[in-house]
Amino acid sequence: MNIPHLSAAAASRKIELMDTTLRDGEQTQGVAFTPMEKVSIAKALLQFLRVDRIEVASARVSEGEKEAVSQINRWAAEEGFAERVEVLGFVDHTRSVDWIKSTGGRVINLLAKGSEKHCREQLGKTLEQHCADVLQTIGYAHEQGLKINLYLEDWSNGYKDSPEYVYGFMNKVQHSPVSHFMLPDTLGVMAPDEVFGSLGDMCRRYPELHFDFHPHNDYGLATANVMAAVRAGVSAVHCTINCLGERAGNASLAEVAVVLRDKMGMELAIDESHLVRISDMVENFSGKRIAANAPIVGADVFTQTAGIHADGDQKGGLYKTKLGPERFSRTRSYALGKMSGKASLKKNLEQLELDLSEEDQKKVLARIVSIGDAKQTITTDDLPFIIADVLESKSYQHIKLLACAINSGMDLQSTVSLRVDVKGEKHQATGAGSGGFDAFIDAIGKVLSHYGYTLPALADYEIRIPKGGHASALTECVITWDCGNELRKTRGVHVNQVFAGIQAAIKLINIQLHEMAAIH
């Protein structure tokens, strides 16, 4: 792909970001914000993220939409943001204008036809007829004191299929009181070289006008297309939070903002430190989950997994870039799992303010790698469980669990089949019980009866996951055993809570078999 080089037209300058999450983003399948949610998002975008403009709704949609827009406009007027709140309106002379005015709105984004095909087949009108209607609505909006921006719907196809229609349209409206002419790639069909060529042509033909570019992401090119549009000379680009929008969505505001700053040296008004918080808000309100590896805002994008990366960061920041987490009010983390190294563990211990000896670190790391084969990632929240388990473990190996299979079902008795090594001898046994752990106790009891050993009764059985843990968190099982003249506690840590209990039981057996051997 031939992406144009930075031209004189794209020298460092101020670029406006217009966020249309609340209008175009709400056209995402299954997304409908409540009035309260719309107001909350609008406030966050303008007051905290400090975007230049927001498009919050389409006129004449519903009474609920009208109330939301009215609330946003009342708040915006009080806070000095009134002319930064925009509403999509239609070429209907008075109706959209009156609707926007009734909500306290100050800006109309008028949707006109930017392609000859749309004008002819959807409206059944000639260019002259459509332009007359557009100018009539513009004239009324201007009389009512509204600021006017003008969309050329389907402009990308219109420019490709009939550029003379686009030129004819612009020639008729260019001297009207329009602040921004907004050129959308409505169906997301453009590539960067096409964007640069067509928008460059528009900017050269009408050098006194302000052009916005409105991309869609159907080919996954929205951010690249924004770069090309800025190089071509546009003064504003449209985005959404979390790439919301019809079909494949619009351009991601987080990606666009960071790319324009880092790769093109553009001046932006936004405060990047609020990007993740607002992304989380929109994710919760929309119900559309973002990928963990989504640039800037994804849960995992500042997590190093490979131990070699943690080692490089520790020795000299070798794997750090401009995209530092602190820039976005985030922190870097180092995943623990089968790919972890000593540096990854050290980084997590520093975060927990824990200090372990080299020998203990080796033990803990060995356990992490072992667990990582069953659980891909271990969090910092899991780490204290592992440390406690490893440091209290003795090296007794009188009994080893070689294999264990548990079958459980609703309203059915659980069964266990196991293989163990006791003092060098292999045994197999099955057991049944009211749950997986109970069935294990039944099976292991049959094996240990050959050695004159009986497990003591349970005094307490406690299962925990880390604070803030989730469904994939490690499980810690602490069992208190009634050993006659004393209570003893053993701990097990595993991804499966039943096996955590089994590990705790194996520990006690090892301790007591060791004590029996010492006596004899």
Secondary structure of 67-86 in the HEC alphabet?
Answer: HHHHHHHHHHHHHCCHHHEE
What is the end-to-end Cα distance of the chain in Å, rounded? 80
CA–CA separation, 211 vs 199, rounded Å?
A: 9
Which residue, 86, 94, 176, is CA-closest to 135? 176
Tell me which residue of 381, 357, 374 sits closest to 473, measured CA to CA.
381
Q: Which residues pair with 425 in a beta bridge?
A: 422
In degrees to the nearest 10, what's the CA dihedral of 299, 305, 311, 314? 10
Kind and range of the H or E element at 481?
Answer: strand 475-482
Tokens of 397: 């190996």
Task: Name 237's bridge partners.
Answer: 17, 213
Q: Report the distance separating Cα 248 and Cα 216, nearest Å.
A: 7
464 included as an active-site residue: no
d(CA 49, CA 52): 9
Of 16, 23, 86, 476, which is the active-site residue?
Answer: 23
Burial track 415-440 (b if 16+ CB lie within 10 A, e otherwise)? bbebebebeeeebebebebeebbbbb
**Secondary structure letter of residue 46 according to DSSP:** I
26 counts as catalytic: no
Q: What whole-number distance in Å separates Cα of residue 350 and Cα of residue 342?
A: 12
CA distances from 85 to 17, 138, 216 (A): 13, 18, 21
**What one-letter code names the amino acid at 370?**
S
Q: Among residues 16, 26, 86, 153, which one is catalytic? A: 153
> 78: how many CB neighbours lie within 10 A of its CB?
9
Active-site residue numbers?
Answer: 23, 153
